[in-house]
Amino acid sequence: MKKTAGKEDEHDARFSALLALARAAISARLLGTPAPAVARGDAKAAVFVTLTKQGELRGCIGHLEAHLPLQEAIVENALAAAFSDPRFEPLHASELEQVRIEVSVLTPPRELHYNGAQELLDSLSSDDGVIIQQGMRKATFLPQVWEQLPGKEAFLSHLCQKAGLRADAWKAKQSISDPVVEKMPSAAKGLAQGAHPQGLRVWTYRVEKFCEQ
C-alpha cells in the first residue's frame, strides 16, 4: 500500500530522530557528556548499526534477535560499532564528523527448507539478509553485502568462511530437522546431535535501512 505524503513525512522524521540518537550516543561517549535519553516504551527490535568513513567500513555491530527496545538497541549497537568492533581501533573524536551512520532494523528471520545447492541459490534474493548456522558456528550478511558480492555463490562462500566453515559448506545436502531428535529431552537431544551433527541451516530476513546523507 502506497504511503501518503503525511505518512512519509512522519516516517522520515522518525528515522532522522533515530539516526540523531545514534550520533548523539557516540558523541556523548567521545566528549564525556551525558548520554542521550531513550524511550522505554518502544517495541523490541533486532538492530545493526554500521559506521563508514570515506566509503569504507569503520565498524558494524548488531543483534539478530530482538532483545531490547528499539531506541536502546540503537544506542547499544552504535556504541559497540564505534568502540568495540574487534576489527577496528576505537573511534577517535577527530573522526566523528567524517563518519556516516547507518541503522538497519531486521524483520524476524524465516528459515529456508531446500533440496540441494541449486534450490538454495534459487531461494535467495539480493533484497535478503542471510544467516547460516552449522552447529555452534553462525554468521550473517546484511543485504548491503550483495553490493560487494552480487554473485550468489560468492556471497554464500564468503558467508560460510565468516562463520568459520569451509567456503563450499553451503553446497552440502541440507539435513536440519530430525523429528526424533527434536522431540527428545534436552540431555538426550544434545547427545544425539553430537552423534549426528546438523547440516547447514539458512534463514533470510529483510531490512529497513536508514542512513545519514
- Give the model confidence (pLDDT) of 104-124 as tens digits: 999 999 999 998 899 999 999
CA-nearest of 140, 142, 132, 115 to 206 is 142
**Mean pLDDT, residues 71-90:** 97
Query: What is each CA distance from 167 to 23, 56, 112, 149, 172, in whole angstroms?
Result: 36, 24, 19, 14, 11
- Predicted TM-score (pTM) of the model is 0.73
Indicate the fold that domain 5-106 takes in CATH.
Answer: Glycoprotein, Type 4 Pilin (3.30.700)
Q: How much is the average pLDDT of 77-98?
A: 97
What is the distance between the alpha carbons of residues 110 and 91, in angstroms, rounded to a whole number? 34
**Mean pLDDT for the stretch of residues 8-37:** 90
pLDDT exceeds cutoff 80 at 201: yes
**What is the mean pLDDT of the segment spanning 142-160?**
95
- Domain ranges, ordered by start, for the chain: 5-106, 110-206
Mean pLDDT for all residues in the chain: 86
**45: helix, strand or coil:** strand
Write down the CATH number for the domain with range 110-206. Answer: 3.30.1490.150
- Per-residue pLDDT at 188 exceeds 70: no
Please give the radius of gyration of the chain, using alpha carbons only, rounded to the nearest integer: 20
C-alpha cell at 53: 568513513
